[in-house]
Structure 1
Amino acid sequence: MDKLMLFFCILLSTQIFSESLVIEKKFFPPKSTDIYRYVPFDVPDDVVEIKVSYSYDRKKHTVDIGIFDSNGIGKKGFRGWSGGSKSEFIIAEHNATAAYLPGPIYSGTWQVILGLYQVEPSGVDIKIEVEFRTSSANSFAGPRFLWNADQVLESNTRWYKGDLHMHTNHSDGKQTIEDLVAYAKENQLDFLAMTEHNTCSHHFEIPTYANNEVLLILGEEVTTTQGHANVWGLPQGYWIDFRINRNNSINDIVRDAHSVGALFSINHPFGPCGGCYWNHSDLEDYDSIEIWNGYWDPTDYLALQMWDRLLQQGKRIPIVGSSDSHKKQDPIGKPTTHVYASNLSQKAILTAIKNGRAYITKDISPTAIEFSAYLENTNDSAMMGDILNVRKQQEVLFAIAISGCKQGKVNVICNGRKIISKNISQLKNGMLEFSHIIVKDSYFRLEVEDDYDMIAVTNPIYVDMK
């Protein structure tokens, strides 16, 4: 049963006329993967600021929130999503709570969107309060800078290191964009991809912290009930619609990302949090998999095994690793993705990731890995992500160089089997060379580990028979 209450008051002390609206609704558990429900309300003329709050029994249920303006519940009307991280938010023309988009307060019907993630069978009672203001003390929050996605911070071809998955106060993180950029500078990370849950509000704050040391990449973590995925390289303010329903499949979301030149990467496929486990079995044409999320644990090992099975099936999907940092205690750069790129720009970094020219280390340590394959008496060679074409029964030579890591062992994995395992302490100057006779299309990748932890994982070198 719905209950609607409307009342008016005049705030004499500030000369602000305020209209307040209270809506109470009851929702039952969704019967399909379309878990989103909409609560409409009308915005009068001359409103300059809207404040929305909601409440329910958080001990029993999990309900997320966002909002669309009178332009409808599509991309044009999207004004923000804070998930379950905020119980209230404000939107004004020049100011908005982090996770929401400032802009004109159009009159007409707006829609609160609720994500019914966990609702008990007896249903959840939700109270939504909306306050309209015709004059706002918070009407200006400083300039909004346009983003230059084509900036090149360094022109050298080399290994660049960074983090591709993190959260700030624009979703459920405890730090700010300024905090993360400062940490990256201090710890000599070269790039960061900012990936907030289901919103693009951070796109307009990021330019404030643009600098000549750390490349910042605009992203979004598409967060669904059947798994999460990062989208990197979005145009400023471009929102990826995360709502899975009959009109928007996971493959539609991938196509949307690709339509603007962005990459789509599966996150933590065996993550233990609610909705983190990847269960979109029909996914097509994605660009990479995050097999290492935060500190190495059994779920990362499961992701590594899943990826290796895909490689054995001939699906050459690159891998990355990311911190998924939400707070200072879980810092960015643990793990770190190292990318061999032609320069330090968004285009070069993302192109290298898509091409598999990357490896992962457990942190921002000096551990560095070189891995190459070549044919004797020829100029034919390959590095991580490359394909080396050979004849059947031809011998391929491989060279490994590991620096900044004195302990543990390096394992060579070929077609799902460990073919070499050597203690790093026994390698001369961290160098290892070996050869392999090719009898079928193959891949070769490296794992560096000690008795307690994974230290590094590389993308493969592929060897194909002509």
Structure 2
Amino acid sequence: MRGSTLSIPGFPPVRARGRGAGWYRGDCHVHSVHSDGELTPGELAHRARTAGLDFIATTEHNAAAAPGVWEQPAGDDLLIVLGEEVTTKTGHWLALGIEPGQVVDWNHQADDGLIDECTDQVHGVGGLCVAAHPHAPYPSGDFMFPLQSFDAVEVWNGLWNSDRPWNADNEATLAEWGRSLAADIRAGAWRSAVGNSDTHLEGQIGVPHTVVFAEELSTRAILAGLRAGRCWIAGSREVDVSFTAAVDGRGAGVGERLSTHGRQVGVRAEIRGVPSGAVSFHTDRGMVHGGSVPAGGAGVVEWHTSVRDSAFVRLEVRRADGHVVALTNPVILV
């Protein structure tokens, strides 16, 4: 995979300065003037920095990033992941971490049996395949492919309501993904949830974005964190969440497994940057615990469970009007 070692002249570096192992904020669904967006790559990079992002992915429709377009905007403080929005007649998907000049075939649809061949083009170079906006309200927006070929699901897409970036389409995707988790975790092949802005216009980038734990700020490490589900979704840079489960002094975070040995598990959510709203914990039994966001927008909500009652636990944080401002992938209990 190119992202592991090599940078190629004319294309953005595969590694940025970063902070070593830690949490990085990024938006993996971005369009520029080179497909149907209104901003140049330079303008997008500037706005990404202003939005507090550490990385973005360039995902033009059915096209590779052209040589010389993204190299200079990347700099050494912003990682640019090469990608493509594969726009088919029966759904769109994101190919992330592809090679310079690589174009993934988009001439396929749900009933022709070609989807695995196409996702193999991405997996073959170490890339990631993401089901994009599965319930988007336009022709070809509904995602009709089986999810087994995909690594992640874009449960939160911000495009259609920039001033109110949570809508019924996102709600439907979140519910669908949430219902599938129990069976997928038992099968050992669950797909992580991600959130992206699907930026086309001014003011959209980073709303929402995905916060990923990675060993470094590189294409390889970011994709590994997304693939493992070591990530959560934030509605803005102001929102910060820490979500963990612990037993006998041992803890695990989002995307990780916690061996409980049948003992009681303490679940803890630390929340900052949400002035008012509600916190809810979800397991394979649905929503099991709820509370209010602490006064002042910062504080801790705790709960207890066991592996007998919960195969996993995940977190949602919503405003008073019900719109999501943060949600996490699950901590898996075994």
Asked whether the two chains share a fold, i.e. TM above 0.5, the reply is yes
Aligned partners of 1:204 and 1:237 also within 8 Å: no
Partner of 1:250: 115
CA distance change for structure 1 residues 405 and 203 in 2, over 3 Å: closer, same or farther?
farther
1:23-62 alignment, distance < 5 Å? none
Q: Distance in 2 between matches of 1:370 and 1:247?
A: 43
Answering whether residue 323 of structure 2 is matched by residue 323 of structure 1, we say no
Aligned-pair CA distance for 1:241: 1.0
Matched-pair contact (CA < 8 Å) for 2:12–2:70: no
Given that residues 115 and 149 in structure 2 are in contact (C-alpha distance below 8 angstroms), is that contact kept between their aligned partners in structure 1? no
1:286, distance to aligned residue in structure 2 (A): 1.3
Does 2:318 match 1:449? yes
**Structure that is richer in strand per residue:** 1
Q: 1:80 corresponds to which residue?
A: none
Instruction: Indicate how the Cα distance of structure 1 residues 448 and 247 shifts in structure 2: closer, same or farther if over 3 A, else same.
Output: closer
2: CA distance, partners of 1:206 / 1:232: 15
Q: 1:423 to 1:247 in 2, by over 3 A?
A: closer
Aligned partners of 1:356 and 1:459 also within 8 Å? yes
1:248 CA displacement: 6.8
Q: How many residues align?
A: 315
- CA distance in structure 2 between the aligned counterparts of 1:391 and 1:215, rounded to whole angstroms: 40
**What does 1:371-450 correspond to in 2, within 5 Å?**
371-376=243-248, 378=249, 380-392=250-262, 394-425=263-294, 430-439=299-308, 442-450=311-319
**Alignment partner of 2:106: what SS?**
coil
Matched AA of 1:308: G
Out of 153, 162, 175, which is 1:289 matched to? 153
Name which of structure 1's ranges 243-252 and 338-347 shifts more when overlaid on structure 2: 243-252
Please say if residues 84 and 96 of structure 2, whose CA atoms lie closer than 8 Å, have aligned partners that are also in contact.
yes
Look up the equivalent residue of 1:309 and give its one-letter code.
Answer: R
CA distance in 1 between counterparts of 2:325 and 2:303 reads 21
Amino acid at match of 2:20: N
Letter in 2 for 1:323: S
Q: After TM superposition, give the deviation of residue 223 of structure 1 in Å.
A: 0.6
SS of the aligned residue for 2:294 comes to helix
Give the deviation of 1:312 after TM superposition: 2.3
Q: Which residue of 1 aligns with 2:229?
A: 356
SS at match of 1:169: coil
Instruction: Show structure 2 runs of 5+ residues with no match.
Output: 1-7, 159-164
Partner residue in 1 for 2:132: 267
Q: 1:7 maps to which residue?
A: none
Going from structure 1 to structure 2, the CA distance change for 1:238 and 1:195 (only over 3 Å counts) comes to same
Per the TM alignment, residue 202 of structure 1 is displaced from its structure 2 partner at its CA by 3.6
8 A Cα contact 2:182 2:284, kept in partner:
yes
Contact residue 87 and residue 106 of structure 2 kept, 8 A: yes
Report the TM-score, using the length of structure 1 for normalisation: 0.64
Kept in 2, the 8 Å contact 1:309–1:416? The answer is no
TM-score (norm. length: structure 2): 0.89
Distance 2:65 2:244 in 1: 42
Distance, in Å, in 1 between the alignment partners of 2:297 and 2:87 is 46
In structure 1, give the amino acid aligned to 2:182: Q
Between the aligned partners of 1:427 and 1:434, the Cα distance in structure 2 is: 21
Instruction: Give 1:440 deviation, angstroms.
Output: 5.9
Q: Is the 8 A contact 2:241 2:271 kept in 1?
A: yes
Q: Contact 2:14 / 2:79 at 8 angstroms: preserved in 1? A: no
Determine if contact 1:203/1:218 at 8 Å carries over to the other structure. Answer: no
Name the residue aligned to 2:220.
347
Partner of 1:47 in structure 2?
Answer: none
Quick check: 433-442 or 312-321, which moved more? 433-442
Distance (Å, rounded) in 2 between the aligned partners of 1:205 and 1:411? 43
Q: CA deviation at 1:458?
A: 0.7
Higher relative contact order (CA 8 A, sep 6+): 2
RMSD across aligned C-alpha pairs, in angstroms? 2.1
- 1:63-74 pair list within 5 angstroms: none
Equivalent position amino acid for 1:237 in 2: G
Q: Secondary structure at 1:162's aligned position in 2?
A: strand
Q: Structure 1 residues 428 and 227, CA, compared in 2 at 3 Å: closer, same or farther?
A: closer
Deviation readout 1:348-387 (Å, 9 max, x if unpaired): 11111111111111223x21100111112x4x32100001
Residue 134 of structure 1 is matched in structure 2 by none
Q: Identity percentage over the alignment? A: 30
More helix by share: 2
- Which residue pairs with 1:302 in the alignment? 172
In structure 2, relative to structure 1, the CA distance for the partners of 1:286 and 1:148 (3 Å cut) is: same
* Equivalent residue letter for 1:337: T
Give the Å deviation of 1:151: 2.0
Match of residue 333 from structure 1? 206
- 1:426 CA displacement: 5.3
Aligned to 2:44: 180
- The alignment status of 1:313 with 2:191, answered yes or no, reads no
Aligned to 2:5: none
CA offsets per residue over residues 186-236 of structure 1, 9 Å max, x none?
Answer: 232111100011011445411132202211110000110110000111111
Q: Distance in 2 between matches of 1:367 and 1:247?
A: 42
* Displacement of 1:414: 1.1
| Aligned twin of 1:163 | 27
- For residues 11-61 of structure 1, the C-alpha deviation after alignment (integer angstroms, 9 at most, x for no partner) is xxxxxxxxxxxxxxxxxxxxxxxxxxxxxxxxxxxxxxxxxxxxxxxxxxx
Residue of structure 2 aligned with 1:232, choices 96, 116, 140: 96
Deviation of the 1:272 alpha carbon: 0.6
Query: Cα distance 1:416–1:253, how it changes in 2: closer, same or farther (>3 A)?
Result: farther
User: Are 1:278 and 2:143 an aligned pair?
Assistant: yes
CA-to-partner distance for each residue in 1:416-446, whole Å, 9 max, x for gaps?
A: 4211111113599511222112216611000
* Alpha-carbon distance between aligned partners in 2 of 1:302 and 1:335, rounded to the nearest angstrom: 17
Question: What is the distance in 2 between the residues matched to 1:269 and 1:203?
Answer: 31
